[in-house]
Amino acid sequence: MRFKKVLPYKLKRLIPMLGLAGASLFMTGCSEKEESIPMRDVELKFTPEDVTAIAYSENSFFLSGNFSIGDVAKHYVNDKSVRTIYLVPEGNWYYFIYTNIQGIRKNVFEPLFEYSDKFKGKGDFNFSIGEASMIPEDSLWYLSKGWTINKYR
């Protein structure tokens, strides 16, 4: 037994229908596309003598007094194309004693991390051996933000 199925479409109707179906696949090009901004990461480097890229103080000694967030740091926080701002320590931090380590954390770094969640720590602080562990909360805080302490010792 053989069954024959007859299609109810005529050939002259089938070609325009296939053309219409194919054209509907390409109609999405007319819609407005959103331009995606390429995201980037930024490194702000600072030394024990110069933290002006991230914060500044009215006093000459930067571990005392009121601090304000630096203009460069504010610029990168407000920039939509910046995903993460890495704070990278440079130079020798070996002469910082535990009170200085606590002072820079409370006066400079904590206000930065409270200001924006774009800030992350990167790099190594080479404090004198044992100074960072004098107040364990400080050393653990530095580690939780992404820095290392005396990595190469």
- Predicted local distance difference test score (pLDDT) of residue 14: 64
Q: What is the pLDDT of residue 65?
A: 62
User: What are 88-102's pLDDT values in tens digits?
Assistant: 999 999 999 999 999
Closest listed residue to residue 87, CA positions, set 62, 63, 112: 112
Which of 28-42, 85-99, 116-130 is predicted with the least confidence, judged by mean pLDDT?
28-42
Report the pLDDT value the prediction gives residue 28, as an integer from 0 to 100. 60
Banded model confidence at residue 149, pLDDT cuts 50, 70, 90: very high
Per-residue pLDDT, 31? 54
Residue 86's CB is within 10 A of a number of other CB atoms, namely 16
User: In the predicted model, is pLDDT for residue 40 greater than 90?
Assistant: yes
Write the DSSP assignment of the chain as a string of letters. -------S--HHHHHHHHHHHHHHHTGGGGSPPPPPPPPEEEEEEE-SS--TTTEEESSSSTTSS-EEE-HHHHHHHH-TTEEEEEEEE-S--TT--HHHHHHHIIIIIHHHHHH-TTEEE-SEE-PPTTTGGGSHHHHHHHHHTT-EESTT-
Give the range among 9-13, 50-54, 103-107, 139-143 with minimum mean pLDDT. 9-13
Which of 51-60, 70-79, 104-113, 137-146 has the weakest average pLDDT?
Answer: 51-60
What pLDDT was estimated at residue 56?
A: 81
Q: Residue 133: what pLDDT? A: 87
Taking a C-beta distance cutoff of 8 angstroms, is the pair 33, 86 a contact? no
Q: 17-31, 70-84, 94-108, 135-149: which has the minimum mean pLDDT?
A: 17-31
Q: Average the pLDDT over 50-61 and give the result.
A: 75
